[in-house]
Amino acid sequence: GSRTASIMMGGLWRGGWFEAEDPPCCSVRVAGNDINVPLPPEVFNLLPIRVWEYLAVITLMTSLVVGQVCCFYVFFASRDLISRLVFDTQHQELEGVRIRKPKAKVESRGAAEKTMIVLGSGGHTAEMLRVLKHMDLAKYRPRCYVVSGTDDMSADRALRFEKERQEGGLDPGQADPGVFDIPRSREVGQSYVTSVFTTIRSLVASAAVVFVERPALLLCNGPGTCLPVCVALKLIRPLSSKIIFVESICRTRTLSLTGKIVYHLRLADTLFVQWPELQASYPRATYSGRVF
């Protein structure tokens, strides 16, 4: 429904002052429901009515975003707790009994895993391709790439990277990779209020890609492009997939905004940082050297 905000006074407005028996209140109408907050009369004299209307809408949208973040945190924390309890129960060994694992299970560990790689843009894409060059990609195939809809350069670089590997005979078993475009969650300079709706649109597109591809491993780094993909993968395949997040090399003291969200919501199974000072500030992160 449409969102409207209005100032509801319990008395008369005369010469810039309130004369009312009942204290005025700020009322925000959302989908036909009124939310009334009593305010002292002097408050309305500080700013124009139109400013109070915008503040009411912004406050409501901010509370919705905070509520969504809290719900995601509770969901993933509960999921991790349940999966840990189930895992510990299934792998308990009886005292004095040696459990032998079937040979087929041991060999299956070396099987290739379907991998999805999220490319940010610019330097983030360069870092991710650098990571891929140092990986045994024969174990991570078939591969597909996810880029934002406005980033044509990253898509071209991904296809060129795969073509060079095939022409060089480095990965003959890899088929032509798929490159999927998703809407960007937030453009540079976009307001945080409108970014709520673009993020939802990006999450829906990411869920469709994840549902079709169903990767076992997700590699991502840097910008917010990867956040909807991470959330979609955790919702669709919470126990049968892994997420690896590599923080940018330019983050030496604090994590990026995306890194903080991934870290505190525990979206990634492993979060790599490229500076030991950064790992000291975030103990659950892993430091294994630098990409460059």
Three-state secondary structure of 274-291: CCHHHHHHCCCCEECCCC
- Enclosing H/E stretch for 56: helix 49-90
Distance CA 221, CA 256 (A): 10
Say if strands 33-38 and 115-118 run parallel, antiparallel, or are unpaired. Answer: unpaired
Candidate ranges 1-10, 74-83, 151-160; pick with highest mean pLDDT: 151-160
Name the pLDDT band for 68 (thresholds 50, 70, 90): confident
| Confidence (pLDDT) at 102 | 40
The predicted model gives 123-142 an average pLDDT of 90
Two structure tokens written together for 70: 């809290």
| Confidence (pLDDT) at 3 | 42
Candidate ranges 8-12, 33-37, 163-167; pick with highest mean pLDDT: 163-167
Task: Select the more confidently predicted residue: 212 or 42.
Answer: 212
Let me know if 175 is exposed, middle or buried by CB neighbors in 10 A (0-12, 13-18, 19+): exposed
| Confidence (pLDDT) at 31 | 52
Q: How far is CA 41 from CA 7, 9, 44, 52, 58, in A?
A: 11, 9, 6, 13, 21
- Whether the per-residue pLDDT at 2 is higher than 60: the answer is no
Q: Which of 37-46, 71-80, 103-112, 252-261 has the lowest mean pLDDT?
A: 103-112
Task: Select the more confidently predicted residue: 28 or 243.
Answer: 243
| Confidence (pLDDT) at 40 | 62
Task: Select the more confidently predicted residue: 8 or 189.
Answer: 189
pTM of the model: 0.64
- Nearest Cα neighbor of 231 from 111, 81, 76, 102 is 76
| Confidence (pLDDT) at 104 | 36
Q: Which of 73-82, 88-97, 282-291 has the lowest mean pLDDT?
A: 88-97
Task: Select the more confidently predicted residue: 143 or 177.
Answer: 143
| Confidence (pLDDT) at 224 | 79
- Whether the per-residue pLDDT at 29 is higher than 70: the answer is no
Q: What angle do CA 158, 271, 192 make, to 5 degrees?
A: 80
Task: Select the more confidently predicted residue: 221 or 67.
Answer: 221
- Enclosing H/E stretch for 72: helix 49-90
100: DSSP letter: P
Q: Which of 52-61, 252-261, 269-278 has the lowest mean pLDDT?
A: 52-61
Tally: H helices and E strands in the chain: 8, 12
The predicted model gives 216-240 an average pLDDT of 89
Q: Is the alpha carbon torsion for 36, 37, 42, 45 positive or negative?
A: negative
Say what angle helices 152-167 and 123-133 make with each other, to 10 degrees: 20
Let me know if 166 is exposed, middle or buried by CB neighbors in 10 A (0-12, 13-18, 19+): middle
